[in-house]
Amino acid sequence: MRAEKALEAPPRKLQLDNQDMPLQYVQPILQVDAFASKAFGGNPAAVCVMLEPREDAWMAKVAMEMNLSETAFLYPEEDGYRLRWFTPSVEVDLCGHATLASAHVLWTEAHLDLSATARFYTRSGLLTCERRGDWIEMDFPVKPEEPAEPPARLAEALGTDLKYVGRNQFDYLVEVADEQTLLELKPQHHLLRELPVRGVIATARGDGEFDFVSRFFAPGSGIDEDPVTGSAHTALAPYWGAKLGKSEMLGFQASARGGVVRVRLVSGTDRVVLSGQAVTVLRGELLV
């Protein structure tokens, strides 16, 4: 591990209105498109690799400033990194695409050797990531749903009949009639915002190359529709695995940006491997 490499910059000066304003610290920040093979697809996440913890309020303000579905903050801890995820309005317990983006940054910015495993200590326990060619594999806990009584106005909020409704630790999972129905959903976000969950996973069996398709709505967490949601696939993998009789599947999250997620249920465990690609699109500096 090469965590020592990075993050202290020498004092710098910012020229502003012909006056020198001294800066004591510059925090690098990167933006990565996760679950994407090229720029401007998948789900963008901001990543801050820090030398040490920062105040919760500061991280919350940075996430609000970035205004992406997630901003990841990480710093060295034990034999890995402490990793936390913030939306523009709340801290969350599990996030797939920002974990994928964080691992990508550790390798591409030379914080870790390319062959090393990225180890993250999180609110959801230890998460690990490994490189497999152009793909990154993430070892996550499964979060299976159980059948649930549909909350009032859920069908109205999604604008369609519900084939199945389940709920796990974080979200409602709703199966709709088919892929076309899923693509045509026009949810009423003000109604979804009233639900006492992180979000709603809508899903259907895939019509073509994908085993299943999905969309994810989380207006109560500050995100009307998330482009690609890795953590939703910790529920989608066991759900569709049981229905299709498969342990390895290919999913597509059918947002405007779209993204492909490979899933593999690990036999005899409560783990699932989520795989995706990532591309860095921006490097910048927070002037602290």
What distances in angstroms separate CA 116 from CA 10, 34, 72, 90, one per listed residue?
29, 20, 20, 31
Question: In the chain, which residues have pLDDT < 50?
Answer: 1-18, 21, 23
pLDDT of 28? 96
Q: Tell whether 159 and 225 lie within a shared domain.
A: yes
Q: How many CB atoms lie within 10 A of CB 184?
A: 10
Question: Has 70 been annotated as catalytic?
Answer: yes
pLDDT of 222? 87
pLDDT of 46? 98
List, in sequence order, every residue forming a beta bridge with 140; answer none if it has no partner. Answer: 272
List, in sequence order, every residue forming a beta bridge with 171; answer none if it has no partner. Answer: 199
Q: Tell whether 157 and 262 lie within a shared domain.
A: yes
Q: Tell whether 174 and 228 lie within a shared domain.
A: yes
pLDDT of 221? 87
Q: Which domain holds residue 115?
A: 3-133+277-287
Q: How many domains does the chain have?
A: 2
Q: Tell whether 282 and 265 lie within a shared domain.
A: no
Q: Tell whether 129 and 180 lie within a shared domain.
A: no
Domain with 114 in it: what CATH number?
Answer: 3.10.310.10
Identified catalytic residue from 8, 70, 109, 156 = 70
State how beta strands 259-265 and 164-167 pair: unpaired
Distance, in Å, from the CA atom of 184 to the CA atom of 204, rounded to the nearest integer, reads 12
